[in-house]
């Protein structure tokens, strides 16, 4: 496995500014040597130094600038350099380098970029970030904390070589990851260009996934045998052979009325491209667990497939056919020679589908009247037929905690722009919403 942790065994942190048990480290590019990382004044000059010391429950604050990994998984291979995040460590970016609390950050003002561009003749790292899975001891003791990535841009990974074909931006096999307000940009792989998320639990909130590419499957996200809840996020202009934005495989069958394993909520999937499944490809299976995903209060538009299923493809295969559940959503203006919007098996409810062949309870097929489709402003005009045409009873639980209030079991509280999901005073009725306030179809509340 990795040699990262073994490389730096010196100077254990003395102060404990977090909670008496855990440590907050600081990283500032250009900081001189000898710092202990415990304050901005004594910041580490590289993220590698902090990651070598951080353990579950610790936090690393990273000041703006481009950060390049240098710790190699294989000593002889420069491209094996990666930021290895031990399970349960929180990485936060977007700092200018003076802040004492998170609220002092100004969104977008001080981008912290983790890049796989190694420079010189080295080219690109296979994986910009590699997620550590919890140890067997941590699992046995039930002390697995979430690994967190917060306000970071992750770009320039290239998992394009045999042995390193999955997860250009993020390689996560197992573990529990929360990713908030991050951008995955311009990463590539054979599978899961932006991120390969397998065998763990993943919650993405307020993220942008753009310009990622997979030669095979899952331009932005490859999801396999995992729990993955994506909310308030935009997946745009990604490409792949199958599943321009997302590829989903081996998902355990959701119990009726149970918690979806894979869900996109208040998300926009637009301008993605693939051979099959312009936005998403849900893989069938010859064994247990086909691809299965829920698109809830989301907009899937302007995606394109060269062969089939411009929007979402759910592969029909025996014995385990894939299936999507499209609820309170818009699937419009996608394009393909065969099945321009949807192909395969879909359960559609209270959604607006561009191809009138597809129907379901509460469904319609009328131009959704986006505010400015050509500029990809996919909010709804006041006259849009999608306004108040959703079903409040289909509002999903806030599985990714979109509003960060710690409550994952309230109804989805926000739209893709962070505005209240259902208009009207939250006083009574189903989900605490008065019957007169109805949710809209699509990612945006009109």
Our finding on whether 405 is near Ca ion (CB under 5 A) is yes
For residues 306 and 431, which CB has a smaller minimum distance to Ca ion in the complex? 431
How near is the Cβ of 71 to Ca ion at its closest, in Å? 36
How near is the Cβ of 102 to Ca ion at its closest, in Å? 18
Contact mark string toward Ca ion, 331..370, x via CB under 5 A = ----------------------------------------
For residues 341 and 440, which CB has a smaller minimum distance to Ca ion in the complex? 440
Spell out the long-range contacts of 25-29 with Cβ–Cβ below 8 A and sequence spacing 24 or more. 25/50, 25/53, 25/54, 25/58, 25/59, 25/60, 25/61, 26/50, 26/60, 26/61, 26/63, 26/97, 27/60, 27/61, 27/62, 27/63, 27/67, 28/63, 28/97, 29/63, 29/65, 29/66, 29/67
Per CB under 5 A, the segment of 203-211, 321-329, 336-344, 384-392 that binds Ca ion is 384-392
- Give dist(CA 250, CA 259) in Å, integer: 16
Our finding on whether 415 is near Ca ion (CB under 5 A) is no
Per CB under 5 A, the segment of 29-37, 62-70, 163-171, 438-446 that binds Ca ion is 438-446
For residues 310 and 442, which CB has a smaller minimum distance to Ca ion in the complex? 442
How near is the Cβ of 125 to Ca ion at its closest, in Å? 35
For residues 74 and 436, which CB has a smaller minimum distance to Ca ion in the complex? 436
Per CB under 5 A, the segment of 140-148, 201-209, 338-346, 386-394 that binds Ca ion is 386-394
For residues 173 and 440, which CB has a smaller minimum distance to Ca ion in the complex? 440
Per CB under 5 A, the segment of 102-110, 153-161, 198-206, 404-412 that binds Ca ion is 404-412
- Give dist(CA 88, CA 56) in Å, integer: 4
Our finding on whether 407 is near Ca ion (CB under 5 A) is yes
How near is the Cβ of 440 to Ca ion at its closest, in Å? 4
Kindly state the number of chain residues that form the binding site for Ca ion, as judged by CB under 5 A. Answer: 7
What is the sign of the dihedral through the CA atoms of 390, 368, 365 and 261? negative
For residues 47 and 228, which CB has a smaller minimum distance to Ca ion in the complex? 228
Per CB under 5 A, the segment of 63-71, 136-144, 272-280, 390-398 that binds Ca ion is 390-398
Q: Are 217 and 188 in contact (CB under 8 A)?
A: no
| Binder of Ca ion out of 48, 401, 414, 415 (CB under 5 A) | 401
| Binder of Ca ion out of 403, 412, 421, 443 (CB under 5 A) | 403
For residues 104 and 407, which CB has a smaller minimum distance to Ca ion in the complex? 407
Determine the distance from the C-alpha atom of residue 331 to the mean position of all C-alpha atoms in its chain, rounded to a whole number.
Answer: 20
| Cβ neighbour number for residue 247 with a 10 Å cutoff | 31
Our finding on whether 19 is near Ca ion (CB under 5 A) is no
Coil/strand/helix, residue 5: helix
Instruction: Tell me how far apart the terminal alpha carbons of the chain are, to the nearest angstrom.
Output: 50
For residues 189 and 231, which CB has a smaller minimum distance to Ca ion in the complex? 231
Our finding on whether 58 is near Ca ion (CB under 5 A) is no
* Angle made by CA atoms 21, 22, 23, in degrees to the nearest 5: 135
What is the sign of the dihedral through the CA atoms of 85, 88, 89 and 94? positive
How near is the Cβ of 421 to Ca ion at its closest, in Å? 9
**Which class for 154: exposed (0-12), middle (13-18), buried (19 or more C-beta within 10 A)?**
buried
For residues 139 and 419, which CB has a smaller minimum distance to Ca ion in the complex? 419
For residues 192 and 390, which CB has a smaller minimum distance to Ca ion in the complex? 390
Phi, psi values for residue 136, rounded to 5°: -60, -35
Q: Are 385 and 369 in contact (CB under 8 A)?
A: yes
How near is the Cβ of 437 to Ca ion at its closest, in Å? 7
How near is the Cβ of 268 to Ca ion at its closest, in Å? 18
Q: Are 124 and 158 in contact (CB under 8 A)?
A: yes
How near is the Cβ of 228 to Ca ion at its closest, in Å? 17
For residues 266 and 365, which CB has a smaller minimum distance to Ca ion in the complex? 266
For residues 307 and 388, which CB has a smaller minimum distance to Ca ion in the complex? 388
Report the side by side order of strands in the sheet with 83-85. Answer: 83-85, 129-131, 170-173, 195-198, 221-224, 246-249, 280-282, 312-314, 342-344
Q: Which residues contact 232 (CB under 8 A, 6 or more apart)?
A: 205, 206, 265, 266, 267, 400, 402, 414, 415, 416, 418
Our finding on whether 398 is near Ca ion (CB under 5 A) is yes
Binding residues among 83-112 for Ca ion as defined by CB under 5 A: none
Our finding on whether 388 is near Ca ion (CB under 5 A) is yes
* Angle made by CA atoms 210, 212, 217, in degrees to the nearest 5: 130
Q: Which residues contact 444 (CB under 8 A, 6 or more apart)?
A: 299, 378, 379, 380, 415, 416, 417, 419
Query: Which residue number has the CB closest to Ca ion?
Result: 398
Q: By the criterion CB under 5 A, which residues form the site for Ca ion? A: 388, 398, 401, 403, 405, 407, 440
């Amino acid at each position: 496995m990795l040699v990262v942790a073994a490389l730096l065994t010196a100077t254990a942190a003395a102060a404990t500014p977090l909670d008496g048990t855990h440590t907050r480290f600081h990283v500032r590019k250009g900081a001189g040597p000898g710092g202990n990382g415990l304050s901005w004044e004594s910041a580490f000059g590289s993220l590698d130094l902090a990651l070598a010391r951080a353990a579950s429950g610790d936090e690393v604050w990273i000041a703006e600038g481009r950060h390049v990994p240098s710790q190699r998984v294989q000593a002889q291979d420069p491209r094996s350099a990666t930021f290895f995040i031990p399970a349960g460590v929180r990485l936060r970016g977007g700092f200018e380098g003076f802040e004492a609390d998170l609220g002092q950050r100004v969104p977008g003002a001080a981008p912290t970029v983790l890049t796989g561009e190694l420079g010189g003749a080295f080219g690109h790292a296979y994986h910009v970030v590699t997620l550590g899975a919890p140890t067997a001891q941590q699992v046995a003791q039930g002390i697995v904390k979430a690994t967190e990535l917060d306000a970071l841009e992750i770009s320039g990974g290239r998992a394009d070589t045999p042995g390193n074909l999955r997860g250009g931006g993020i390689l996560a096999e197992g573990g529990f990851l929360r990713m908030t307000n991050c951008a995955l940009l311009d990463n590539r792989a054979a599978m899961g260009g932006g991120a390969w998320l397998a065998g763990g639990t993943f919650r993405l909130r307020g993220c942008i996934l753009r310009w990622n590419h997979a030669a095979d499957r899952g331009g932005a996200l490859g999801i396999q045998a995992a729990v993955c809840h994506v909310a308030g996020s935009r997946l745009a202009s990604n490409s792949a052979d199958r599943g321009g934005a997302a590829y989903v495989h081996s998902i355990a069958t959701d119990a009726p009325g149970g918690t979806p394993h894979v869900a996109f909520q208040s998300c926009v999937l637009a301008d993605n491209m693939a051979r099959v499944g312009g936005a998403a490809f849900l893989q069938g299976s010859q064994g247990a667990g086909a691809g299965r995903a829920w698109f809830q209060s989301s907009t899937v538009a302007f995606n394109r497939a060269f062969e089939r299923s411009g929007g979402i493809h759910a592969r029909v295969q025996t014995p385990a056919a894939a299936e999507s559940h499209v609820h309170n959503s818009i699937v419009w203006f996608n394009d393909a020679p065969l099945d321009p919007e949807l192909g395969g098996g879909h359960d559609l409810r209270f959604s607006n589908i561009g191809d009138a062949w597809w129907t379901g309870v509460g469904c319609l097929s009328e131009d959704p009247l986006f505010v400015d489709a050509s500029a990809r402003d996919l909010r709804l005009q006041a006259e849009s037929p999608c306004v108040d045409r959703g079903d409040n009873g289909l509002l999903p639980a806030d599985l990714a905690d979109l509003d960060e209030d710690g409550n994952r079991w309230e109804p989805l509280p926000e739209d893709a722009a962070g505005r209240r999901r259902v208009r009207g005073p939250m006083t009574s009725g189903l989900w605490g919403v008065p019957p007169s306030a109805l949710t809209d179809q699509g990612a945006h509340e009109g």
